[in-house]
A = this chain, B = another copy of it.
């Protein structure tokens, strides 16, 4: 297959060449590079802040949403957090070379399956400059070269961050081309990344649903789809009420702008009369707006609480805000059908004490993570003990749920014989 020569293919070819060397770097060499990167980032704080001020000022001029400007903004403590993230990654176990399976077969051959890096990983993401540093650290530790394609709005910050990290690599035993920034000047560079099959091994989109949809439908490079989370909490008739309230509220409000926040709550009809008023009160205290079905609305009216009538888009979409869709379901079957119809396959939670209901919920739903009596917010690489995560996979190939270092590797087999031939 011939690939057109572009800026992206030139960078990708450099990454491919570096990948061979990086794959054989030891853990000590990679950790040394990560710690150097952290040190250079701290030393470059002033330069990073100056570059970041240009991006922030451009964003203000462009009247970009203040939440996005907040995520774009770096200050000394955030830069410290970036550096700390790298030193934390240095402390994680190196997945490369781990033996997954090792066995002898009838012919006498010894077969070993080991973890190896993918090679070249492209990550396409939105305005958060912390992704630049996190991703560079995680890909490097897992032995992969990173092609980073951030958004145009963070271009000055990202350019400075990558420049500084590459200075660190130049002083380490890890190849400098292990970390490369792809120009964000035109949308074309995204398309070029998606077409560079054979040069790039995997593309990971990190961002909103429009970005993910574009990558997933256009890419000729294999994709790991991350993050769209229309997460449900189902309160069974067997639920402990205080736990149910705590889990429902935590799932919704602990952080609203993330993929593992709950977007819909379903309540078993047999407990609705007792439970829903308490729930509405708890949500109201947190400033959550209810988008309810007819039953929910009757309860809200009775309690004098504001509400909106839910439409299909309420069941389908993520709010990323203090809003939740809510519905009374006649039974567990109706809850399962609702979730099967509307879920994006990220995380669903059940609050119940009935083992049979729990068992059906965990076996009949087809989502990456099913929570039993726990908040949806626990679907997270750190909470899973993976140390860090590059995203939450909502596809079924390769990785599912929180992706740590292990999920940034593939495997290969070494088969040892002694002159073995096949009959």
Q: Which A residues are within 8 Å of any B CB, using their own CB?
A: 1, 20, 23-24, 103, 105-107, 109, 111, 113, 116, 118-119, 197, 201-202, 213, 216-217, 220, 222-224, 240, 242-243, 246-247, 249-250, 254, 340, 362-364, 366-375, 377-379, 383-385, 395-398, 400-401, 410-423
Contact = CB atoms under 8 A, between A and B. Distances in A.
Contacts of A367: 412
Given A23-B366, A216-B220, A222-B397, A373 B105 contact: no
Contacts of A105: 383-385
Contact of A414 (B20, B24, B370, B417): B370
A360 to B, nearest CB: 9
A401 to B, nearest CB: 5
Nearest to A370: B414
Contacts of A415: 369-372, 374, 378-379
Nearest to A362: B414
Contacts of A419: 240, 242-243, 246-247, 373-374
A398 B397 contact: yes
A366 B20 contact: yes
Contact of A109 (B224, B374, B397, B416): B374
A411 B418 contact: no
A105 B415 CA distance: 36
6 contacts: A118-B396, A240-B419, A371-B417, A372-B416, A375-B420, A378-B417
A367 B107 CA distance: 22
A246 B419 CA distance: 7
A364 B24 contact: yes
Contacts of A103: 385
Majority secondary structure of chain A interface residues (helix, strand, loop or mixed)? mixed
List the number of copies, as a whole number: 2
Contacts of A113: 401
Contact of A217 (B220, B369, B423): B220
A370 B383 CA distance: 37
Contacts of A106: 385
Given A374-B419, A397-B410, 5 more contacts: A109-B378, A224-B397, A368-B413, A378-B415, A396-B410
Contacts of A413: 368-370, 379, 384, 400-401
Nearest to A409: B396
Contacts of A216: 197, 220
Given A250-B421, A368-B413, A421-B254, A20 B340 contact: yes
B107 A383 contact: yes
Contact of A410 (B20, B363, B400, B421): B400
Nearest to A367: B412
Contact of A383 (B202, B223, B240, B422): B422
B422 A378 contact: yes
B243 A412 contact: no
